[in-house]
Structure 1
Amino acid sequence: MVDPELTTEAFEAARARGETRLRGPRAESAHYDAGRDRVIVRLTTGVEIGFAPRDAEGLAGATRENLAEIEVEALGLGIHFPRLDADLYVPALLEGVLGSKAWMAARLGASGGRVSGGAKAEAARRNGRHGGRPRKAATGGGS
């Protein structure tokens, strides 16, 4: 069934975007290097990129056996981990994006809370000179 909202212009724009993606680097092959704990993706340009599975959405905590099987899909625009039902988009990998926007935002927020240096450390020192964190007010319930 044809989408009645799909115009010729929209179709042509989508086709042009697809052609542009196919002109850029794509995955030629991919494998898991257990010795270095890295997923290695070889691109059509001959360049290889590698990343730790723990840094990619859907791969954290995966076993070597689950990472051993990787498929190149979508004309080299995607890599698929069938045992994990996880997919990564190659153009996004080239930009350092290893997951969805929500997943990346959650990781960024978590890492920000662990930062201990610079302004955060100075604020903690100033607060410590004033007796530290204020105690919570006692609630008036029961006793």
Structure 2
Amino acid sequence: MAKITAAEIAAARKRGAEEPSIVSARFIRATRTLEVTFGHGVKIAVPVALIQDFSMLERAPTLAELAEVQVSGAGTSLYWPRLDLGLWGAGLLQGIFGTKAWMREVARGMGAIKSPAKAAASRENGRKGGRPRKHPATPAHA
């Protein structure tokens, strides 16, 4: 069995103190949002639809299952016992809700949202003939 030194224990305690710990978490049914409060005073709210782990379940979680969130790992993570699903708190705090590919797809979808103002502007541009054509650059030494 490996022996752990006092220096290794001290270094682990220092790393643990530097990482923000989760104080509380709750699921807000009305907005389907996960609200997480950290020990240093930061509070974040993330729509569960943005969190990849929930979309990868065999079936969509019920509101009751989402409401059973627990703080675990001495404040480092969140756990949903009925879903057997855990999330790392520091990742949520950094805005990491899934893999890079997942985050790219989420961002791509957000840019595709059309508001009434965007639709009206598009129609107005269409009436004017659309976007102006780009003219190729003329050579400097013609």
Q: Which category of TM-score, normalised to the shorter sequence, fits these structures?
A: 0.5 to 0.7
Name the CA distance, whole Å, in 2 between partners of 1:19 and 1:96.
24
Q: 1:77 to 1:112 in 2, by over 3 A?
A: closer
Give SS of 2:52's match.
coil
Percent of residue pairs identical = 24
How many angstroms does 1:106 deviate by?
3.0
Answer whether contact 1:31 1:39 (CA < 8 A) is retained. yes
Aligned position for 1:48:
43
The CA RMSD measured in Å over matched residues stands at 2.9
Give SS of 1:65's match.
helix
Aligned position for 1:106:
101
Q: How many residues align?
A: 107
2:89 counterpart of 1:90: yes
2:90 counterpart of 1:78: no
Answer whether contact 2:50 2:106 (CA < 8 A) is retained. no
**TM-score, normalised by the number of residues in structure 2:** 0.61
Q: What stretches of structure 1 of length at least 5 have no aligned partner?
A: 117-143
2:20 counterpart of 1:25: yes
Q: What stretches of structure 2 of length at least 5 have no aligned partner?
A: 113-142
Q: 1:107 to 1:78 in 2, by over 3 A?
A: same
Give SS of 2:96's match.
coil
Name the CA distance, whole Å, in 2 between partners of 1:43 and 1:50.
12
Aligned position for 1:57:
52
Name the CA distance, whole Å, in 2 between partners of 1:111 and 1:31.
23
Name the CA distance, whole Å, in 1 between partners of 2:89 and 2:65.
20
Query: Which amino acid in the other structure matches residue 71 of structure 1?
Result: Q
Give SS of 2:100's match.
helix
Name the CA distance, whole Å, in 2 between partners of 1:15 and 1:75.
17
